[in-house]
Amino acid sequence: MTKVALLDYGVGNLFSVANALTVAGASVVITNDPKDIRSADKVMLPGVGAIGDAMHHMRLCGVDMTVQEVVRTKPVMAICVGMQALFDYSTEGGKVPCLGLVAGSAQRFDKTWMQNGQGIKIPHVGWNVVHTDSNHALWQGCNDEYFYFTHSYYCKPDVADVKNQGLITAVSSYGQEFCASIIKDNIFATQFHPEKSHRAGLRLLSNFINWQI
């Protein structure tokens, strides 16, 4: 059975994610111990809340360095704030330095964006369709499904960086189209919450559990 290290760094609905991973077929250990993370088959960065708190706790317990180490050899999945933590920085609360594994930033939704003739409400909360043209194994059976979002910031990859070519594998729309998911080497990340997304979310998590790199 695939062992997933679910990282505990002070933010995130850990037990909801752990339960969904278990239902999807994984053995889960909730941890911030580098030994547990290194010994797991795969790693997951959950996230709910403020990026500043997330990065503070990551650095406090050394999770930041361990993630940068294991991402070279293990599949890593990140959810919501966990996804935003992969980028260079977030504009939440000023300019918060993040892990720098993906060139780009997390930006706040623009309240001037229009949806159905009205300015969007921030945060973006609820079900929204996610579209992908990717044939990647991680997205099998999940195109044009509805997933659950709750966020005020979205990831904006640096399109000028050649390493980001083909990075965005799924998009959604809230006033404007935004990045809903990325795949880069061993990294898979979603802005939405698979653990809150019922059947489609479990299918996506199962795809991650079975992902071979």
Give the SS3 label for residue 212: coil
Nearest to 179 by CA among 90, 97, 104, 116: 104
Catalytic residue, candidates 61, 80, 98, 179? 80
Amino acid in the structure at residue 176? Q
Distance CA 140, CA 171 (A): 15
Distance CA 194, CA 202 (A): 7
Rg (CA), the chain: 16
Give CA 88 to chain center in angstroms: 14
Catalytic residue, candidates 92, 124, 151, 195? 195
Distance CA 31, CA 173 (A): 34
Nearest to 83 by CA among 173, 204, 179: 179
Catalytic residue, candidates 98, 142, 155, 193? 193
193 tagged catalytic: yes
131 tagged catalytic: no
Distance CA 87, CA 77 (A): 14
195 tagged catalytic: yes
Amino acid in the structure at residue 128? N
Active site residues: 80, 193, 195
